[in-house]
Amino acid sequence: MTSNLDLKDMAHRALLEAGFTPDFEPASLSQLSAIPNTLPAAPAIKDLRSLLWSSIDNTESMDLDQIEYAEKLLDGNARVLVGIADVDAYVPKGSPLDVHASNNTTSVYTGIVTFPMLPEKLSNSTSSLLPGHDKLAVVVDMVLDSDGQLVKTNVYRALVRNYAKLAYSSIGKWFEGGAKENELPLPTPVPKLAEQLLLQKQESELLHDLRMKAGALNVETIEATPVAVNGKVVDITTVDHNEARDLVENLMVTTNSAIADMLDQKGTYSLRRIVRKPKRWPRIVELAKDLGETLPDEPDPIALSDFLKKRKLAAPDHFADLSLSVIKLLGPGEYVVVKAGEQHEGHFGLAVHDYTHSTAPNRRFPDLVTQRLLKAVMDGKECPYSEEELSAIATHCTEMAAAANKVERFMRKAAAAQLLSSRVGEVFKAIVTGVKEEGVYVRISKPSAEGQLVKNQAGVDVGDKINVRLLSTNAAKGYIDFQKI
């Protein structure tokens, strides 16, 4: 019976089958126990604890990778600082914890249980930028002009202190409700924090406008998370996008671009995150045509961005479905090694040419590698990795990111199958999310769940909206089977 399934055990087995090491080795745990409670020594460190740093993340998140601060300058420019957890200070290259992280490359979030890339004692405490504690950070210090253009970037080590751990959901509502200082959702008031957040939001909006003009895709993704009580799935919740998420996303994209550009200017290697021009562009053109819009025959991020803006205004209730179709058709991202001055495709979805992953070293191995590349530049040392090492890391990280996505999808399906097991025979509205050799896949929205179309699937394509009947579920295999009606 599905009700007797141990979903945590299923998640553990799924990770093993996907090539992950879900449990930490004795050598890693030995290294962890030897990490002192005191801050490790760091060269050329700045004391920035007096700045009003804050973080915005998911309510339950404890592995805080970044904090933010902004200020206006006398010349009319703005200074935006992003502090990134100095994970490398605790996890040296080649150490047991580093070997474990390099094998898994990412934390895996199954919804039922999280398998962290680094032990929670480290990622949720020692290296996490939790409030009320002095912490080591690598600070990306950026100067933006009045239009949001990046004027100058500096990177250095610093001692920081987070003064407020904020949540996307509550800060998003606060922004939407008028952002009044006396209504800021905090257990204890923090003087001038409201003013600080509004300044961050102002700079974030300038950065967002620049990205949109360049052709960044303003899409909305649906994050579905199982809710379990006593090991049984009772609901699947979805996360709404809001202005707090936009704020962090815009600052992080700018930070990642600034770091990629800085490494390039310093003449060293970098690990880039790219999304190539979509091979299924003709299908995107076809979707636009069905909605009365025209896109060029060749992939054009600015034209696609303009199309998505128009559709969000014209049909906001259906925009998430359109976004999902476009994201599926764009294809996955990948990691590549780039030498200084070398040309590459860039990130089609973000409309940026220089882009790396650097702002989540507690959760992603490429970010930890990039942190080491940055430190080598700061210290005037040789690159800590050879080109061959970086190429192998890039390939492995791409493979494991895909494997993590597969595990997370499987566990969402297993949870959804358990939840839907009593609703076999019911009819749902669905959108086609994938058409592959092995099958056709659809997503229903209430509850949010993805399954396979096993009957009457001929002639459908990504983005089609259809009605489906639930034929069967198998939580143990993560199967949810539908029939088009």
Which pTM does this prediction carry?
0.89
What average pLDDT does this structure show over 236-263? 92
For the chain, give the percent of residues with pLDDT over 70.
99
What average pLDDT does this structure show over 432-443? 89
Characterize the bridge pairing of strands 479-484 and 448-455.
parallel
Q: What single string gives the DSSP state of each residue in 398-436? A: HHHHHHHHHHHHHHHHHHHHHHHGGGTT-EEEEEEEEEE
What average pLDDT does this structure show over 277-286? 93
Instruction: Give which of 122, 123, 130 is closest to 164, Cα–Cα.
Output: 130
Q: What is the pLDDT of residues 163-202, one digit of tens each?
A: 999 999 999 999 999 999 999 999 899 999 999 999 999 9
CB-CB contact of 141 with 79 (8 Å): yes
Measured distance CA(2)–CA(135) in Å, rounded: 45
Higher pLDDT, 173 or 212: 173
Is pLDDT at 2 greater than 70 in this prediction? no
- Can you tell me whether residue 94 is helix, strand or coil? coil
What average pLDDT does this structure show over 92-120? 96
Q: What's residue 402's pLDDT? A: 96
Is pLDDT at 455 greater than 60 in this prediction? yes
* Domain map (residue ranges) of the chain: 2-275+335-414, 281-331, 424-484
CB-CB contact of 275 with 348 (8 Å): yes
Is pLDDT at 1 greater than 70 in this prediction? no
Is pLDDT at 231 greater than 70 in this prediction? no
CB-CB contact of 370 with 356 (8 Å): yes
Is pLDDT at 48 greater than 90 in this prediction? yes
The CATH homologous superfamily to which domain 424-484 belongs is Nucleic acid-binding proteins (2.40.50.140)
Q: What's residue 116's pLDDT? A: 98
Q: What's residue 433's pLDDT? A: 87
Is pLDDT at 3 greater than 70 in this prediction? no
